[in-house]
């Protein structure tokens, strides 16, 4: 009886917790400027609460708390109204219970049902178990965006809550979800202008993938906070005095660079935390005197603060006259502070700040019967993606890469010869511009005139360039074009046309090869094709056929001799067996096959894999792309041959694998004892002088007793830089070597690099 009571009490406590969470959501909604449609939100909550009754999340909480939390994010952090809040509360009902989309439509109407249907299509994370399913699900995601942008906004809110509660998941799932978030969701949030959410998604992903580095940067940020605050107060004091004199209503905020951004800069620039100088930025948010004066007020503030501090001549970014495609508007200026450091100042009105933080939702007005206003750049982006979706991609990772080219893009503004303004991604080339005008123009492009000067197709455009495209009917798409185009549209079109041509060449090559083999009396079978593929160093038979078809490979005597040699070898082998001799190769082959059979055991992805010395040398493969060593943050990937390949977690290949083949990722743990040696490359840079090289080798060989495999030093204009390949046991050895080299007087920079 007592046990029954305690169970009942537990249920009552859970129900009270659920009701409190829902009441908080209602309070948040009532505090917004949206029309107060409390009745339909309450109805959606009661329906979802009943549907999910008794179901628990992995953390042990009642499941309904997840939809409530997603609805809170939708309301507070993205700024959407009652339709979106209802859809967020109902987003898992169709997938997880017996209710259908038709049930939702009958009770809540067409609009909410349409959004819930869109969310159900892309449920369970974007990615399924197989590559083809991943690409299909991602296509569904992008297609639903074009129906109603709220689908993807709610999906991002769902992912944000999952990231906030990722601690209750298994480690291999954490890597999959974190990798997927960095690869797809953070860029999507950025593209939709959800700056605050993008930053949090990046930070949370980083926290789970590299916990030690995250904690270290967090500690250093806390240790330098007082010093930063002092700089902020001193820097902004004269600015405040000037803005007060101008009679403006404003507030000034200190914006600290995110932990993920700091780490990313440390990796790309190969510098320590102490050498990141743009951690602090200043944000001025003002209330315009009236909306017509908003733009003028921004420039008035810029002129006023430029008289106090000297501005950097090349670092004025005017996102006010030309907003980013995600709606972002602000004026960025970099000023020289009295402490001798450059500090970026971002000038925005309150409206611009809303758009910067909440993205499209802040200015995306929905009419009651559906439909939307002010589409512009987002519509153009969605149209580009639809064009890419029309071309079926056989490889999911290629497809995701193509889309990502558009997600990450920062913009530049270029002009046509007639003065029409075009928005292009940063680093776009003349060829990208040609394809943006029309596929035919891109296909027949032979060059361009930029600012009336002739440039090659690969020329990178800059903001303000005027571009004229030159074409010729004789021009055809070249394979190397794929290497320098940067836009998704151009890449997709080039790939599609090259694939079409390759298919035609492949069929022609197959026909030529069949004729050649028939003349020589050799059967046209897989064995013959494989031998020719190996002879000419092609990866696949298809590549061989294409080369024969397009005339790059002409079959001749070398190919005939290959089959004559084979016939001779077979005769010798037959003789050796018939005289009862033991064939050594055959015996060795049988013995080698045994361990391969043993390796086909199923690996449990839920368990953490121990990386011992024995396992590293016999069972697992260290990835060539990133050369992991003991102590690195790593993960395992089970390939199609059931082999385990160890990658660094931040390795670009691993990033793709996590987001595209998440079900094959295994969490790993080093268990090594300095028995094995691994090759690493150390980069050094400093001031050239007599004896520097001698000091470097002294530190490595004598002090630390480490073997150097290769040393390349180059000196120019008094500066030397070098790469040292040496053998170490683990990351601690690398740290010791780098720290000791930094003590050498003239060495200014030391870091481990991938060579």
Tell me the C-alpha distance between 551 and 542, whole Å: 14
3-state SS, 81-129, equals CHHHHHHHHCCCHHHHCCCCHHHHHHHHCHHHHHHHHHHHHCCCCCCCC
DSSP state of 611: E
> To 5 degrees, how large is the angle CA 481–CA 485–CA 490?
95
> What does the block give as tokens for 294?
């908003």
Tell me the C-alpha distance between 585 and 601, whole Å: 27
Under 8 Å between Cβ of 251 and 282: no
Tell me the C-alpha distance between 80 and 604, whole Å: 42
In which element (H, E) is residue 283 found? strand 280-287
Under 8 Å between Cβ of 387 and 489: yes
Residue whose entry in the numeric block shows the structure tokens 């000297």: 310
Contacts of 458 (CB under 8 A, 6+ apart): 429, 430, 431, 484
619 is a catalytic site residue? no
Tell me the C-alpha distance between 94 and 92, whole Å: 6
* CA 343 from centroid of its chain's CA atoms: 28
Contacts 24+ apart (CB under 8 A), 416-420: 416/466, 416/467, 416/468, 417/466, 417/467, 417/468, 419/466
> What does the block give as tokens for 495?
């790939």
Contacts 24+ apart (CB under 8 A), 289-298: 294/349, 294/351, 295/320, 295/321, 297/248, 297/349, 298/331, 298/347, 298/348, 298/349
Under 8 Å between Cβ of 548 and 513: yes
DSSP 211-244: HHHHHHHHHHHHHTHHHHHHHHHHHHHHHHHHHH
Tell me the C-alpha distance between 418 and 398, whole Å: 36
- At residue 422, φ and ψ (nearest 5 deg) are -125, 135
Catalytic residue among 9, 24, 95, 102: 95
Bridge partners for 372 per DSSP: 366
427 is a catalytic site residue? no
Catalytic residue among 96, 103, 398, 619: 96
> What does the block give as tokens for 66?
């997840």
Residues with active-site annotation: 95-96
């Amino acid at each position: 009886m007592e046990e029954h009571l305690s169970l009942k009490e537990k249920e009552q406590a859970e129900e009270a917790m659920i009701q409190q969470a829902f009441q908080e959501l209602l309070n948040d909604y009532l505090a917004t400027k949206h029309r107060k449609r409390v009745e339909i939100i309450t109805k959606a909550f009661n329906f979802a609460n009943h549907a999910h009754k008794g179901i628990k999340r992995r953390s042990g909480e009642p499941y309904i708390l997840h939809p409530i939390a997603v609805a809170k994010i939708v309301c507070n952090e993205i700024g959407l109204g009652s339709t979106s809040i209802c859809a967020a509360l109902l987003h898992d009902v169709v997938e997880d219970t017996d209710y259908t989309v038709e049930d939702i439509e009958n009770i809540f109407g067409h609009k909410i049902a349409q959004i819930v249907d869109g969310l159900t299509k892309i449920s369970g994370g974007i990615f399924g178990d197989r590559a083809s399913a991943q690409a299909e699900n991602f296509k569904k995601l992008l297609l639903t965006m074009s129906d109603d942008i709220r689908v993807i906004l709610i999906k991002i809110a769902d992912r944000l809550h999952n990231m906030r509660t990722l601690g209750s998941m298994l480690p291999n799932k954490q890597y999959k979800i974190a990798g997927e978030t960095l690869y797809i969701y953070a860029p999507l949030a950025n593209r939709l202008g959800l700056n605050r959410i993008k930053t949090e998604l990046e930070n949370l992903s980083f926290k789970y993938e590299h916990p030690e580095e995250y904690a270290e940067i967090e500690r250093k940020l806390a240790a330098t906070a007082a010093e930063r605050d002092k700089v902020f107060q001193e820097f902004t004091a004269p600015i405040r005095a000037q803005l007060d004199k101008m009679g403006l209503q404003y507030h000034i905020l200190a914006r600290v660079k995110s932990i993920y951004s700091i780490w990313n800069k440390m990796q790309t620039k190969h510098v320590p935390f102490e050498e990141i100088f743009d951690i602090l930025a200043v944000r001025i948010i003002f209330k315009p005197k009236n909306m017509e004066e908003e733009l003028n007020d921004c420039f008035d503030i810029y002129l006023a603060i430029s008289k106090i501090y000297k501005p950097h001549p090349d670092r004025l970014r005017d996102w006010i006259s030309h907003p980013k495609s995600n709606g972002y508007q602000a004026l960025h200026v970099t000023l020289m502070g009295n402490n001798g450091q450059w500090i970026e100042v971002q000038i925005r009105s309150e409206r611009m700040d809303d758009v910067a933080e909440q993205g499209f939702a802040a200015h995306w007005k929905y009419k009651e019967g559906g439909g939307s206003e002010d589409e512009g750049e987002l519509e153009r982006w969605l149209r580009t993606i639809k064009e890419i979706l029309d071309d079926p991609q056989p490889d999911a990772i290629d497809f995701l890469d193509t889309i990502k080219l558009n997600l990450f893009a920062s913009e530049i503004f270029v002009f046509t010869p007639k003065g029409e303004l075009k928005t292009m991604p940063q680093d776009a080339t003349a060829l990208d511009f040609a394809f943006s005008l029309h596929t035919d123009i891109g296909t027949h492009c032979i060059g361009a005139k930029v600012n009336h000067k002739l440039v090659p197709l690969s020329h990178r455009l800059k903001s303000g360039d005027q571009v004229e495209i030159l074409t010729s009917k004789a021009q055809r798409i070249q394979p190397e074009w794929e290497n320098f185009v940067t836009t998704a549209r151009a890449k997709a079109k080039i790939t599609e046309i090259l694939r079409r041509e390759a298919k035609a060449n492949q069929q022609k090559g197959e026909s030529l090869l069949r004729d050649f083999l028939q003349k020589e009396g050799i059967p046209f079978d897989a064995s013959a094709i494989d031998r020719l593929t190996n002879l000419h160093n092609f990866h696949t038979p298809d590549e061989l056929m294409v080369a024969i078809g397009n005339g790059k490979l002409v079959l001749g005597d070398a190919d005939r001799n290959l089959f004559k040699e084979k016939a001779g070898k077979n005769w010798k082998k037959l003789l050796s067996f018939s005289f009862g001799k033991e064939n050594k190769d055959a015996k060795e082959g049988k013995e080698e096959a045994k361990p391969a059979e043993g390796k086909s055991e199923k690996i449990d992805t839920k368990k953490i894999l121990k990386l011992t010395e024995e396992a590293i040398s016999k069972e697992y493969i260290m990835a060539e792309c990133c050369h992991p060593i003991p102590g690195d943050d790593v993960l395992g990937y089970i390939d199609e041959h059931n082999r385990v390949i160890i990658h660094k977690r931040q390795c670009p290949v691993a990033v793709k694998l996590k987001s595209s083949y998440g079900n094959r990722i295994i969490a790993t743990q080093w268990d090594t004892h300095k028995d094995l040696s691994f090759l690493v490359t150390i980069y050094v840079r400093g001031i050239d002088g007599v004896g520097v090289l001698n000091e470097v080798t002294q530190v490595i060989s004598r002090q630390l007793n480490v073997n150097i495999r290769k040393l390349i030093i180059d000196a120019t204009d008094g500066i030397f830089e070098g790469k040292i390949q040496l053998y170490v046991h683990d990351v601690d050895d690398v740290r010791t070597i780098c720290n000791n080299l930094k003590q050498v007087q003239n060495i200014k920079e030391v870091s481990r690099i991938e060579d």
